[in-house]
Structure 1
């Protein structure tokens, strides 16, 4: 970890030893057994409204994101690849946008060439219902319509670790 000289002197004067930065990969947390899955029916950016209840029989990856969130933007390409690779396995990746205008979302889509289905959480009620406080946050729902796990933070959805999380559900 590189500290500016002043920060290093303050740290040493205080008797503290700086720790090197360690990249920690987000880990899936089981959905609490006593907590029911909130209903989710939101307007789609393009096409008809999307309803989680209608997706029963599919594995659903709900990714809560915003265009102002750098980790969200970094994660999107791997989510797109995840969706493409497992479309035949009935895996749906849904990008749940948090409180942005339609114009803002469309600008982002045009700049990034994002092709995932996008639904709008215009007032943030869906994020609150799902307990999302940090972006990106992802909730994975099994074919039976029950939540399996949640992950907070940026994930490489094409990596070996993510495959270990998703493959058993397919």
Structure 2
């Protein structure tokens, strides 16, 4: 049995060492549960500011949890950046929420890839936990009223038809 399958089985069984995991194949889109409130979010940004979901009200937001060690995260970043540029005029904010990595690792990754999305730091993983993120990458779509509408786990081509439909619902 390969390592990724063992890790997945361990995560499914609830083994804490197996989490977080990363999605290796495909993605899963699901609606945010109606009865579940959208958690508040305020995180430090790479540029030294603090970003909050409350301050973004009135704009649609995609919160993408990622890590530089996560291959599916790395693979989807270019299409996320393209999506952000394409919908900037419509107010879409695409926020790359880094999971538990230091500034050096993040800056090294950005320098190597040319990624220019705004980066937020989830230094202790508390934000991921509050949004139920356990698989990387995971993206939460937030509407203009500040309500979470969907979660996508796994690598996504954000230029694809499904993603365009998900984002259109936020815009």
Do both share a fold (TM > 0.5)?
Answer: yes
- CA gap of 1:24–1:73, structure 2 versus 1, over 3 A, is closer
User: Counterparts in 2 of 1:87-102, with a 5 A limit?
Assistant: 87-102=88-103
Alpha-carbon deviations, 1:51-107, whole Å to 9, x = none?
Answer: 011000111000000000000000000000000000001100000000001111010
**TM-score, normalised with respect to structure 2:** 0.84
User: Counterparts in 2 of 1:61-100, with a 5 A limit?
Assistant: 61-100=62-101
Alpha-carbon deviations, 1:104-142, whole Å to 9, x = none?
Answer: 101001101110000000111101111100000000000
Alpha-carbon shift at residue 164 of structure 1 (Å): 1.2
Distance across 1 between alignment mates of 2:70 and 2:145 = 31
Distance across 1 between alignment mates of 2:28 and 2:165 = 11
Partner of 1:36: 37
Alpha-carbon deviations, 1:2-22, whole Å to 9, x = none?
Answer: xxxxxxxxxxxxxxxxxxxxx
Partner of 1:148: 149
Alpha-carbon shift at residue 27 of structure 1 (Å): 3.5
Could you list the runs of 5+ residues in structure 2 that have no partner in the other structure? 1-23
User: Counterparts in 2 of 1:16-55, with a 5 A limit?
Assistant: 25-55=26-56
User: Which deviates more from structure 2 when the two are superposed, residues 91-100 or residues 33-42?
Assistant: 33-42
**TM-score, normalised with respect to structure 1:** 0.84
Larger Rg, first or second structure (1 or 2): 1
Could you list the runs of 5+ residues in structure 1 that have no partner in the other structure? 1-22
Partner of 2:106: 105
Partner of 1:134: 135
* CA RMSD of superposed structures (Å): 1.2
Alpha-carbon shift at residue 24 of structure 1 (Å): 6.3
- 8 Å CA contact 2:141–2:170 kept in 1: the answer is no
Distance across 2 between alignment mates of 1:68 and 1:27 = 21
Distance across 1 between alignment mates of 2:43 and 2:137 = 18
Count of aligned positions? 148
